[in-house]
Every structure is written in structure tokens, then in C-alpha cells.
Structure 1
């Protein structure tokens, strides 16, 4: 099981995401890291474990209220040994030219409409797809959920209503995807509380998980992470 720490950026700082209620997100102040500065948060994660991949959600870009493109590029330059999966809302293939080698775009379904799906082909499978749900409802372009031909090899199943909720991952939904599409690598996101949740995900075939709250709270210890990551998982670029 590979754990990928999550960093949610809003108005220049790292915030604590809770159930997709983005207007209520507050700056991070936890037992893991008492400052919301992104470099400090990354260093705090690295002090806990030698993570190789991080996920960044640019909430301003996703909600069309500016973006953190410059800040993210500075972070990528400061941590060249790390790979960053970045969801910055709607992105076109042309926007990826000249991006650093440790940048991997995340295309979230909530940021795409039926008329913009064609842009996905320009990425030539060099991206991570995020299929976004509020709870049970699919967000964004509906055909993205029903057309596997549009999918890359690596797909996040993001249940926003469970993010920061301590309610556990949506095992039924994830198990369904794993059964129906055994050739794809599905990545869990939302609600992961502890090592048991990650063990349960592993049992249904999920090999990667996006995690934030459990790391900040200490419910996932350094020993837990070391033991979980000892099992086979895709490398930092998303490939086995």
C-alpha cells in the first residue's frame, strides 16, 4: 500500500479539508504541523516518513478564484526529488508544456464538462484522472464515469463528502471499480482514518491512497506507514 500525503491549498496556505465544504476550510494547525506554510507541511510529512509522492489540490484554481501556479512551481523546484500530483481544476494539454519533470497533472471530473472532455485526449494518458463524487452523486462530466476508453491507467476515486469526516473510505464504491476494471489502478481518497482502513482497501485491490487527516492526527504512525508501504505499490510516477 502506497500512501500519498494530501496538501490542500487555499489563499496561499495549507488548509484542513472537511467534507468538500471549501468555504469553511481553515489553515492547518495540527500535532504534525502547527503552521500552514506549504514548505513546513511538506517537511513535517517527510519527517514522519520518506514519502516520494504528494498530492496538491489548488482549491482557488478548482473554484475559479485565482490559482497557486507560481507557488506550486516554486515548491516543485525546491523539492526536485519528489513527485507532485497536482489538481488545479480545468487544464488543457497545452498548459503542460514546459512543466517540471516532477509534475503530474490530475484532471478532476468536477472541472470538466461534456464539451471540454476532448481536451483530455491531448494529455496522451500522461495524467491521473480523478472521478469526483459528492457522496453518491458523480460530479462533472457524466460520460467520464461511464467511458473507460477515456481513462488513463491510474484513477482516483474521490468522495468529497468523506474527506476529513473520519467516516472511513467508500469501500463498496472502490470494490465495484476494482471488480469491473481489474486492469486499472484505483486510488482511494476520502475518509481514511487509520491502518485498518488501509488494510481493508488493500484487501479489495486498492494499492494507493490519498491521506491527510490521519497523518495530521497521528492515527497513522511512522511504524504503520513503514509496514504498509513495504508491500508492492506503483512507483512515484504512478507506474508499477
Structure 2
């Protein structure tokens, strides 16, 4: 299972926050990296896999394309959510897979080809429609994405932990590659994701707190 380090970018810096309250996200000035400057941050942590959320572009107020292009060569692969609102928003950079989030991607997901579909979840439902994630995943096979990501926005930064039975139902509903992010609190959750068949885990807070070993993030694998 891929172990993927999440990096949120806002106003040119790596930021940290909780539960998707983006107006309260602040520069990440604690943890293993001495800088919140994106390239310096990635050079210090040296993850194998990187998930970048460009919060400025998701909210329609600028972008971090230059920072993404500078960070991408430093890792094996980068997954990028830049608030796609149409296929023309894919960022064509070697080693980068663009993510289409349900928050911004619109109702017609059949117009997208390639990249990853992120099921952005709030209050237990996929936003903006509130559809049950299991039902959404079961129907997502008709789209032309390379895989899906389950992103529990409310759980981001909270270390709330995961329900193994729920994970098993979600995994069973998806026939392709499936990642999970949001609320992963430690090694027990990573074991649960790996044992239920997930292909990737997106982590951040537990890494910065030293709960998930940085060496594992640098290897990029959990098994």
C-alpha cells in the first residue's frame, strides 16, 4: 500500500488545519521540517509519494502551479488536487496525476479522462449531493479515472481513527485503485487500510507528530 504525504498549500506556504476549515489553516511551523516553504519542506521530509491540495486554486483565488512543478521532481509521484472545474484544468506535468474532486468537478464526471476522482466527504455524504460514499463508489466504475480517493474532509487533521467494517464496505464497492485520507491516526489505522485492500493511505498530522514513522513515508510503502 502506498503511503502518501499530504501537503496543503495556501498563500505560497505549507499550511495545517482541521476539519476543512480553510480560513483557519495556518503555516506549518511545527513538526520535522524547519520551513513551511514548499520545496524546502519536501526536501526535508523526502516523501516517496506526495498529495498536494492547492487550496488557493480550489477556492478560485490564484494557484501554486510553480510550486507543484518544483516539488514534483523531488518525489516518485505526485497527486494534485487543484480544484478542477473541467478537463481543461488538468495540469500536464510529468509525474503528476491530477485529482478531480466532487467539491469542484461538477455533475458531469464522464467528461474527465485519467487522473483520480476524489470523493470529498462531509457529514457522511459525498459533497455536494450528499450521496452515500458506498453507493457513489459502486457507480464510479463507469467513469474514466485511474482510481478513486476517499477524502473525509471533516476528519482531516483530527486523528479520529477509522472504522474497519466501514473500510471493508467501501473497498468492496470499488473495483479499481482506492486511496483513503482524513483522520488516519496511526499504525493501527494503516494496518486496517492495508488489510482491507486499500491501495494508498494519505497522511499528514500523524507524521508531523511522530506517530507514523517518517522512514515509512520516505519508503512510500506500508505492509
Question: Normalization by structure 1: what TM-score?
Answer: 0.81
**Where in structure 2 are there 5+ consecutive unaligned residues?**
none
Residues 128-143 of structure 1: matches in 2 within 5 Å? 128-140=116-128
CA distance in 1 between counterparts of 2:222 and 2:14 reads 29
1:1-240 aligned at under 5 Å gives the runs 1-46=1-46, 51-76=47-72, 79=73, 82-96=76-90, 99-114=92-107, 116-120=108-112, 123=113, 126-140=114-128, 145=136, 147-148=139-140, 149-150=142-143, 152-169=145-162, 171-181=164-174, 183-222=175-214, 229=221, 231=223
Provide the C-alpha distance between the structure 2 equivalents of 1:225 and 1:103, rounded to a whole number of angstroms. Answer: 18
Other structure's SS at 2:126 match: coil
Query: Gaps spanning 5+ residues in structure 1: where?
Result: 232-240
Shift of 1:135: 3.0
| Cα distance change of structure 1 residues 62 and 169 upon mapping to structure 2, 3 Å threshold | farther
Is the CA contact 1:9–1:56 (under 8 Å) kept in the aligned structure 2? yes
Superposed displacement of residue 39, structure 1: 1.2
Q: In 2 relative to 1, CA 10–171 (structure 1 residues): closer, same or farther, beyond 3 Å?
A: farther
Asked whether the equivalents of residues 38 and 67 of structure 2 are also in contact (C-alpha less than 8 Å), the reply is no
Where 2:103 maps in the other structure, the secondary structure is: helix
Quick one: distance in 1 between partners of 2:30 and 2:88?
Answer: 38
Q: Distance in 1 between matches of 2:149 and 2:20?
A: 16
Q: What do residues 2-38 of structure 1 show as CA deviations (whole Å, max 9, x unaligned)? A: 2000110011100013111111001002231132111
* TM-score in terms of structure 2 length: 0.86
Rate the CA distance shift 1:40–1:223 in 2: closer, same or farther, 3 A. Answer: closer
RMSD of equivalent CA atoms: 2.5
